[in-house]
A and B are shown apart, each in its own frame.
Chain A
């Protein structure tokens, strides 16, 4: 086993199947899954957290989603829907929904009730309470949920290759198929580095969007 594949310049041009091209398609799946997950899970989580209604959904959906095997779900979706991007996105979205949903819910439920009371008491309407007070205050918890969703989906998006799509899973699956362990290793390393870099970017984003008042101390 060696790093030849990873450091071979020929694998770093932008041709089809090259590492940069696989990174781009990999990130595309990650981006789509996070986006769809956010669009579904964030409103539901915020609604449950804001109203306190249906908290069993937040807790149980979270646990159920976490215990679903992504590869199994993907195969089921392919059987039902045929090959393509859709079954992959469904499988990955199911993976990102639980951490986003639970963190949105938990972020709102753990807020200081005195502050929320004050927000209503000074005359904010329910949506103003949610968007001007609850959501900004819940951002640290929400962001940690989103970061954990992003990490999971970066690692798991490799399954796309199992049903004939691109992404860094190609290096793993094709490498295994031809016993090219250098290629498998390259895939594993690139996925790991990508995960770390993505988390770093999100950490910077978090610093930028979370009010300094929420990490300020005397």
Chain B
């Protein structure tokens, strides 16, 4: 667990970057620090590995004040991923990944062997090992950055806007892979972003900072969406937070209707589309019981006939949901809660 105990950071010149922040980052979870620029989120993150030292207050890791620990040794035990990756351009991808194990006293050979395994872990093939950072795309560089941070298997990872320098499509893919990786590894992660959608998607806990380095609210994504503490948080999490909070609701309980006659199926019962004057219009997507209500809503709205199609594990259609079914379900659910 990482603990901020009444931490203040005032820069020379008098500007307050972090203003009496107390915060706990639970072990094995991903905590996202988010807020507008100049809210102190990056300063807070960089105080965890002593890249910045607090003016007053303490930062503790598992109850131990980090101010008492050797700076370099502390940092070697904390993975560090930054925007644009910050790879060493004069070292090969493999040697970049091997950096921390070598600092910790592993031989270069051992460190390189382990580094090869890590490259695979972050989705890069062995052929990247001998390349230099300048020969990689932004997304690939960021993967190497993550591999470098993971190389010494640190229990804690700090990530400073790790995905902001890549295009939205690549970012989407990195998010997916990162969530899967985190599921395996269960690191204690602190991540900074200015993108609230990213925070809500990735964070187990989200800490929203406001201008002037104050904490506005800390909670699970769902708490922030459904019960924002004040207008600032409500505004910051966005106007469509009602729709977005549906991401956390499972479609498992949602009642479905029988398959209508104008839904065209193949021999295996898989939906092909809707009968229309010109032939068959594709459904535009289907959902299963493990998807979220947000997806179902989206499918119902974008469907040419206002109907979302549910499929079973084999891909065969087993029910449909119409606009009004969805509205009724949400209304009953609200009445029940």
Contacts and interface: CB of A to CB of B under 8 A. Distances in A.
Interface in A112-166: 112, 114-115, 117-125, 128, 133, 136-137
B120 to A, nearest CB: 21
Contact of A119 (B74, B84, B88): B88
Contact of A216 (B76, B88, B135): B135
A218 B134 contact: yes
A217 interface: yes
28 contacts: A114-B83, A114-B86, A115-B89, A117-B51, A118-B80, A118-B85, A118-B87, A120-B51, A121-B82, A121-B86, A122-B80, A122-B103, A123-B103, A133-B90, A136-B90, A137-B90, A211-B89, A212-B132, A213-B89, A213-B92, A213-B132, A213-B134, A214-B89, A214-B90, A216-B132, A216-B134, A216-B135, A217-B135
For chain A, which range describes its interface: under 10, 10 to 19, 20 to 34, or 35 or more residues?
Answer: 20 to 34
A213 B49 contact: no
A169 to B, nearest CB: 40
Contacts of A217: 134-135
B121 interface: no
A124 B88 CA distance: 13
A4 to B, nearest CB: 51
A217 B84 CA distance: 17
A118 B86 contact: yes
Interface in B113-168: 131-135, 148-149, 158
A128 B103 contact: yes
Interface in A185-218: 210-214, 216-218
Chain A interface main SS type: helix
Given A123-B100, A211-B132, A115 B51 contact: no
Contacts of A137: 88-90
Nearest to A115: B86
B126 to A, nearest CB: 18
B99 interface: yes
Contacts of A117: 51, 82, 86
A216 B88 CA distance: 13
Contacts of B64: none
Interface residues of B, number: 31
B72 interface: yes
Nearest to B102: A132
Interface of A: 112, 114-115, 117-125, 128, 133, 136-137, 210-214, 216-218
B149 to A, nearest CB: 8
A124 B103 contact: yes
A134 to B, nearest CB: 10
Q: Which 3 A-B pairs have the closest CB atoms?
A: A213-B132, A118-B86, A123-B76
Contacts of A122: 75-76, 80, 99-100, 103, 148-149
B134 to A, nearest CB: 5
Given A122-B148, A133-B88, 14 more contacts: A115-B86, A115-B87, A115-B88, A117-B86, A118-B87, A121-B86, A122-B80, A122-B103, A123-B72, A128-B103, A211-B89, A213-B89, A213-B133, A213-B134
Interface in B17-69: 49, 51
Interface in B259-313: none
A110 to B, nearest CB: 13
B181 interface: no
Contacts of B86: 112, 114-115, 117-118, 121
Contacts of B229: none
B129 to A, nearest CB: 13
A213 B132 CA distance: 5
Contacts of B75: 120-123
B73 interface: yes
A61 to B, nearest CB: 28
B201 interface: no
Contacts of B73: 123
A122 B86 CA distance: 11
A117 B148 CA distance: 14
Given A128-B103, A133-B88, A213-B90, A121 B80 contact: yes
B259 to A, nearest CB: 51
A128 B75 CA distance: 14
B175 interface: no
Contact of B72 (A112, A125, A214): A125
